[in-house]
Chain A
Amino acid sequence: MASIPSTGTPADRPGRPASPFPEDADPRFVFRTLLGRTPLAFLRGIAAGRGHESEAVRAPTLAGELTDQLDDMLSLAAVRKELSDEDRLALGLFGLTESRSWPLAGLRHTLKALAVDADAVIAGLVRRGLLAVDLPPEIEAADPSHAITAEASGDLEIWAHPSLTSGGRPRLPAEPPAATAGSVVQVRESDGLEPILRLAALWQRTGAGPLRRTQQGVLYKRDRERIEEDGVLSAAVDDALVELPALPTLWIGLARRVGLIHVDPGDESLQAAPAEFWTENAVHLPQMIASAWLGIRSWNEWADPTPTADGPAPGPPLAFLRPAALLWLATLEPDAWTTLDDLAARLDAVAPGWERITFEDPASPAATNPRRLKNPNRRGPALTREAQAARVLERILLGGAYALGLVRVGEEKETNRRAVQLTPLGRYVLAVGPPPPPRPTFEHFLFVQPNLEVIAYRQGLTPPLVGRLSRFAWWSKIGAAVELRLTQESIALGLEWGLTASQILDVLSQHSQRALPGSVKDAVDRWADRREQVTFYSAATLIEFNTRAERDQAMISWEAEGAPRRPFVAVGDRFLLVENAQEIPTARISTTASRDYRLPPERCVAVEADGVTLTLDPARSDLLVEAELARFADEGPPPSSAPSRAGGARRKFLVSGASLDRAADAGLTPPILADWFRRRTGEGPPPAVRLMMRPAPTSGGAKPWPARRLLILTAPSADLLDGVLQHPETRPLLGDRLGPVSAVVPEESIDRLRIALRAFGLEFELG
Chain B
Amino acid sequence: MTRANARTPVKLHKNVTLIRTSEPVIAEELLARKSLGRLILARLSETVLLVKPDEADAAVDELRKMGHTPRVAR
Contacts and interface: CB of A to CB of B under 8 A. Distances in A.
Interface string B1-36: 000000111111111111111110010001000000
Contacts of A523: none
A588 B16 contact: no
A533 B11 contact: no
Contact of B14 (A553, A575, A596, A627): A596
A731 interface: no
Given A571-B45, A623-B44, A624-B50, A544 B16 contact: no
A628 B53 CA distance: 13
Contacts of B45: 571-572, 575
Contacts of A590: 7-10
Interface string A360-378: 0000000000000000000
A595 interface: yes
A618 B73 CA distance: 28
Nearest to B64: A489
B71 A589 contact: no
B10 A535 contact: no
B74 A538 contact: yes
A496 B15 CA distance: 19
Interface residues of A, number: 60
Given A496-B72, A597-B53, A537 B18 contact: yes
Contacts of B69: 488-489, 491-492, 527, 530-531, 534
A627 B70 CA distance: 24
B72 A536 contact: yes
A460 B70 CA distance: 33
A752 to B, nearest CB: 68
A550 B69 CA distance: 35
A595 B14 contact: yes
Contacts of B53: 597-598, 624
A535 B71 contact: yes
Contacts of B23: 533
Interface in A534-584: 534-546, 550, 553-554, 566, 569, 571-572, 575, 577, 579, 581, 584
B14 A544 contact: no
Contact of A544 (B10, B19, B74): B10
Contact of A535 (B8, B20, B56): B20
A532 interface: yes
B50 A623 contact: yes
B68 to A, nearest CB: 5
Contact of B71 (A532, A545, A588, A596): A532
A342 interface: no
B40 to A, nearest CB: 9
Contact of B50 (A527, A584, A627): A627
Contact of A538 (B10, B44, B63, B72): B72
B73 to A, nearest CB: 5
A482 interface: no
Residue of B16, B56, B60 most packed against chain A (CB within 10 A) = B16
B7 A588 contact: yes
A533 B68 CA distance: 8
A534 B71 contact: yes
A591 interface: yes
Contacts of B50: 623-624, 627
Contacts of B26: 533-534
A496 to B, nearest CB: 6
Nearest to A599: B15
Nearest to B60: A536
Residue of B8, B30, B48, B63 most packed against chain A (CB within 10 A) = B8
Q: Which 5 A-B pairs have the closest CB atoms?
A: A492-B69, A627-B42, A590-B7, A542-B13, A647-B11
Interface of A: 488-489, 491-492, 495-496, 527, 530-546, 550, 553-554, 566, 569, 571-572, 575, 577, 579, 581, 584, 587-598, 618-619, 622-624, 626-628, 630, 645-647
Given A541-B14, A575-B45, A596-B14, 6 more contacts: A533-B22, A539-B74, A542-B12, A543-B11, A597-B16, A623-B50
14 contacts: A488-B69, A492-B71, A495-B71, A535-B71, A537-B73, A540-B15, A540-B16, A541-B12, A550-B8, A569-B48, A572-B44, A590-B10, A594-B11, A623-B41
